[in-house]
Amino acid sequence: MTDVEPKLSVKRENEDTLEAADSKRARLDANGDEPSATPVGVRKHSRDQTADENGADTKRVRQTPVKTEVKSEPAAASPRKAATPKGKYAEADSDSESESNSDSDADDKKSLAARLASKAKASPKPSPKAKAAAPSSAKKAPTPKKAAKKESSDEESEESEDSSEDEDDGSDESGSDSGSDDDSDDEDAYDDEDAPKPKKPAVKKAASPKKAAASPKTKPAAGTSKKASKSADGDGAVTKKKKKADEDDEDVHKWWEEDLTAMLGDGSERWQTLSHNGVMLAPEYVALPPQAFFKYNGQKVALSLPTEELIGFYAAMLKSDYVTKDKFNENFMVELRKVMTKEEKALITDLAKCDFTVIQDYFEQQREIRKNRTKEEKAAIKAQNEELVKQYGFCLMDGRKERIANFRVEPPGLFRGRGDHPKMGMLKRRVVPEDITINCSKDSTPPAPPAGHKWKEVICNKTVTWLASWVDGISGHAKYVMLNSASKLKGLNDMKKYEKARDLKKHIKHIRRSYTEDMSSKEMAIRQRATALHFIDRLALRCGNEKDPEEQADTVGCCSLRFEHIKLEEPSTVHFDFLGKDSIRYQNSVDVEERVYKNLIIFQKNKEEGDLLFDRLTTTALNKYLTDFMPGLTAKVFRTYNASITLQEQLKLTPTDGSIHEKVLAYNRANRAVAVLCNHQRSVPKKFGEQMDKMDEKIEAVKKELNEARKVYKETKDEKKKAAVERLKARVDSLVIQKTDKDENKTIALSTAKLNYLDPRITVAWCKRYDVPVEKIYNKTQRSKFAWSMGVPTDFTF
């Protein structure tokens, strides 16, 4: 692999995060992504330092590791294509237009409903499963679990089940493997006008498929053997078309094969009949055993039950870094004083004198015990759990059994806000039946509240999808119990979301042209709107609603960017550095068009830290403006659109003649590009450093071997030795790639994009085209969530 080289060097420099960032950039250069060179270079030096400073002064930095800073090329600055915005946009337009798939072309003018409807009929669901429901179920596994279940004899059913699940045989790997590569692709692909540029190169990591043990009815021991044998042959057969689309153990309601027009209807009613067993409340608090005691100022202190519960909550968090935060401790003490008895209050006044360690140790012990349970015990607990799921986990909606996502009411505890949340450490109080509103059919039997209690209210509201709700004590906002993602209600919405994003594709050219023009409007509000939209579109920023600083962490999105969140650097570079959703830091440096740059100078003029950059713009106004281009269009659609289109573009880089393994790698790389675009991050895994060191050692060891082998070969000229040398060399390469891959994935979270931004039809169609079993990409849960997309035609284009 050619790319190995650059990577190697990269790795070496990777001493610390900053270095890492640098090396990444270096890599970009190396890639030969031409023009971008300038910006990249420039950014390189100044950036790291400033990043630090900024981080420091804003002090909004979350404990997250420094994000590697990356530069992204807004499409506007896209190196490859067109230099002038105008040209570029023009091109883009035409491109995208022509590209649009037949479907959309044809349906261009139709309404979403019409489109969906026609799709349902015409669309092709090549896969067997897709065809009529009846036949398919007959042939493949009897869907109905009930039926199938007892019929275990039915081979087919088993087979399908298993294979879908396992398939993985060894290949799944994906994960870590070899990866490689990428150096070049990332940016390239982005030429496409449609696709925004990723902030940094992509790599892959994989979240690969693999089985899911989870499903409720999974098979116990017996399954294993079955599985094994089955998958063996099943696999082969499946390869191509993935004949089994089984997923379901349950009967799957193939709503997507029905008349979607009706479903989209006026949308006011989401269901007709609904019955369920209510929610599962958190268990009552049970006093700690005497050996788990609390000490204050060195003295053992007996606590009242409510106090003990709070103390216990705190003790359980001793290992987190919440306890190192003043706000958390302060809020906790306030809460503690609220529940303490007079005597306790008099005694316990200083958190520093509290000793929770005995309780903490006790919890630790309990955890050990739990971990060391025997097989039988574990099985018993599992069975119990399944019982609960059986009782509370499902509801009957419009005659269909649907799985409920969160039927367990949130238990009490100390609020764990993300980032610098003003309420962290506050007590999230216990939710009681009297807090809960139940939603179900008028004619159904409402779930019974626990003895001695009653629900706050039982209502029948068919226009909403929740089964139960209560008001969260911390935020004051409602919490809802809803169906899980495999349900029709969620699936339909999901499909609509992607259809809307595809619709945007038809308007994007026009919209881009409009906001580009508006960029020079005389009216400041319009200029701001144009500039903001430009960022939302090209950088996939979130809209950015207003927030209440007293109640929530200080995070921002595009419209709420403040003066201090961007720094301008001549001639035309914008450095973004702010905390976004979940206090995830967004750092990016972008070269923008002159007009954008000039606008930003104006917007910053006469402002200081704390002032809104887009002070004349509101999210409502922005969305209103967007709606005029296309009904239902809002800022968030751009994220979905850009994410999906990026995936589609990146997937074009898949090696046609590669192994499945390589193809999966290509997929993960594309996935990663999107994650980078959307700034989906994760904290560095605890043992990451250690694991990295281990890999280093391993690499060194193999290298040593390699050198030895070389020596021997030189001396003996034995052909056999030569082969050995080659083998070792390959091994080293592979290890290095693995390590690079792992490192690049260090702070990138792939699953969010996969689950929420990437149109599954792109993925499914890709799988079909490249003969990759979907199971390699989507695990069981994901397959059921995206069941509606499995029948997509091979030539589907987003």
Partner DNA sequence: CTCTGGGACTCAGAAAGTTATGC
Partner DNA sequence: CGCATAACTTTCTGAGTCCCAGA
Range 685-692 contact pairs with CB under 8 angstroms and sequence separation of 24 or more? 685/746, 688/746, 691/742, 692/739, 692/742, 692/743
Mark the segment that binds DNA (CB under 7 A) among 70-78, 332-340, 349-357, 680-688: 680-688
Does 461 participate in binding DNA (rule CB under 7 A)? yes
Q: How many Cβ atoms from other residues are within 10 Å of residue 267's Cβ?
A: 10
CB within 8 Å of 176: residues ≥ 6 apart: 205, 206, 738, 741, 742
Does 206 participate in binding DNA (rule CB under 7 A)? yes
Interacting positions 694-753 with DNA (CB under 7 A): 694, 742, 749, 751-753
- Residue whose C-alpha is closest to residue 594's, from 249, 52, 77: 77
Mark the segment that binds DNA (CB under 7 A) among 91-99, 200-208, 271-279, 295-303: 200-208
Does 756 participate in binding DNA (rule CB under 7 A)? yes
Token pair recorded at residue 771: 């003969």
Using the rule CB under 7 A, which residue among 79, 417, 433, 773 binds DNA?
Answer: 417
Q: Any catalytic annotation for residue 757?
A: yes
Coil vs helix vs strand at 187? helix
Using the rule CB under 7 A, which residue among 49, 366, 493, 520 binds DNA?
Answer: 493
Coil vs helix vs strand at 328? helix
Smallest gap from Cβ 414 to DNA, in A, equals 9
Count the residues of the shown chain that bind DNA, applying the rule CB under 7 A: 104
Smallest gap from Cβ 779 to DNA, in A, equals 4
Interacting positions 354-413 with DNA (CB under 7 A): 370, 382, 405-406, 408, 410-411, 413
Mark the segment that binds DNA (CB under 7 A) among 112-120, 247-255, 284-292, 687-695: 687-695
Q: What is the distance between the alpha carbons of residues 394 and 402, in angstroms, rounded to a whole number? A: 5
Helix (H) or strand (E) holding 413: strand 413-414
Binding mask 266-305 for DNA (x = CB under 7 A): ----x-----------------------------------
Does 230 participate in binding DNA (rule CB under 7 A)? no
Does 176 participate in binding DNA (rule CB under 7 A)? yes
Does 682 participate in binding DNA (rule CB under 7 A)? yes
| φ, ψ of residue 25 in degrees (nearest 5) | -60, -40
Mark the segment that binds DNA (CB under 7 A) among 75-83, 154-162, 690-698, 721-729: 690-698
Instruction: Find the catalytic residue in 597, 757, 770, 778.
Output: 757
Smallest gap from Cβ 365 to DNA, in A, equals 14
Smallest gap from Cβ 575 to DNA, in A, equals 20
Smallest gap from Cβ 82 to DNA, in A, equals 29
Does 243 participate in binding DNA (rule CB under 7 A)? no
Q: Of 90 and 471, which has the nearer Cβ to DNA? A: 471
Q: What is the distance between the alpha carbons of residues 701 and 719, in angstroms, rounded to a whole number? A: 23
Q: What is the distance between the alpha carbons of residues 97 and 80, in angstroms, rounded to a whole number? A: 20
Does 585 participate in binding DNA (rule CB under 7 A)? no
Binding mask 424-443 for DNA (x = CB under 7 A): ----x---------------
Smallest gap from Cβ 278 to DNA, in A, equals 15
How many residues make up the chain in this entry?
798
Does 648 participate in binding DNA (rule CB under 7 A)? no
Mark the segment that binds DNA (CB under 7 A) among 78-86, 247-255, 759-767, 779-787: 779-787
- The one-character DSSP state at 66 is P
Does 208 participate in binding DNA (rule CB under 7 A)? yes
The alpha-helical segments, DSSP class H, found in 608-744 are 619-629, 635-651, 660-677, 688-716, 719-744
Mark the segment that binds DNA (CB under 7 A) among 33-41, 102-110, 186-194, 207-215: 207-215
Does 480 participate in binding DNA (rule CB under 7 A)? yes
Binding mask 131-160 for DNA (x = CB under 7 A): ------------------------------
Smallest gap from Cβ 41 to DNA, in A, equals 29
Does 619 participate in binding DNA (rule CB under 7 A)? yes
Q: Where are the beta strands (DSSP E) in 229-298?
A: 274-276, 294-296
Using the rule CB under 7 A, which residue among 313, 328, 415, 515 binds DNA?
Answer: 415
Does 228 participate in binding DNA (rule CB under 7 A)? no
Mark the segment that binds DNA (CB under 7 A) among 53-61, 114-122, 440-448, 688-696: 688-696
Smallest gap from Cβ 733 to DNA, in A, equals 17
Using the rule CB under 7 A, which residue among 361, 517, 582, 795 binds DNA?
Answer: 582
Interacting positions 310-329 with DNA (CB under 7 A): 320
CB within 8 Å of 504: residues ≥ 6 apart: 511, 630, 633, 637, 638, 641
Smallest gap from Cβ 479 to DNA, in A, equals 7
Interacting positions 495-554 with DNA (CB under 7 A): 497, 542-545, 547, 552-553
Q: Of 308 and 759, which has the nearer Cβ to DNA? A: 759
Distances (CA, A) of 592 to 18, 196, 334, 527, 568: 24, 13, 49, 15, 10
Does 490 participate in binding DNA (rule CB under 7 A)? yes
Using the rule CB under 7 A, which residue among 27, 210, 538, 669 binds DNA?
Answer: 210
Token pair recorded at residue 732: 């080293």
Task: Report whether the peptide linkage leading into residue 85 is cis, meaning its omega lies within 30 degrees of zero.
Answer: no
Smallest gap from Cβ 545 to DNA, in A, equals 3
- Residue whose C-alpha is closest to residue 263's, from 110, 492, 497: 492
Q: Tell the burial category of 298 from Cβ atoms under 10 Å away from its Cβ (0-12, 13-18, 19+).
A: exposed
Does 4 participate in binding DNA (rule CB under 7 A)? no
CB within 8 Å of 299: residues ≥ 6 apart: none
Smallest gap from Cβ 691 to DNA, in A, equals 5
Interacting positions 83-122 with DNA (CB under 7 A): none
- The one-character DSSP state at 80 is S
Q: Of 71 and 542, which has the nearer Cβ to DNA? A: 542
| φ, ψ of residue 395 in degrees (nearest 5) | -135, 170
Write down the number of H helices and E strands in the chain.
28, 16
Token pair recorded at residue 731: 């091994």
Mark the segment that binds DNA (CB under 7 A) among 153-161, 296-304, 710-718, 773-781: 773-781
Token pair recorded at residue 449: 């509240």
Beta strands 354-355 and 294-296 are: antiparallel
Distances (CA, A) of 3 to 16, 182, 585: 22, 7, 30
Distances (CA, A) of 247 to 231, 233, 767, 782, 790: 14, 18, 16, 10, 11
Q: Of 1 and 474, which has the nearer Cβ to DNA? A: 474
SS (H, E, C) 341-381: CHHHHHHCCCHHHEECHHHHHHHHHHHHHHHCCCHHHHHHH
Does 58 participate in binding DNA (rule CB under 7 A)? no
Smallest gap from Cβ 359 to DNA, in A, equals 15
Using the rule CB under 7 A, which residue among 6, 175, 446, 447 binds DNA?
Answer: 175
Q: Of 348 and 626, which has the nearer Cβ to DNA? A: 626
Q: How many Cβ atoms from other residues are within 10 Å of residue 790's Cβ?
A: 26
Using the rule CB under 7 A, which residue among 4, 432, 460, 464 binds DNA?
Answer: 464
Using the rule CB under 7 A, which residue among 40, 51, 202, 207 binds DNA?
Answer: 207
| Catalytic residue positions, numbered | 757
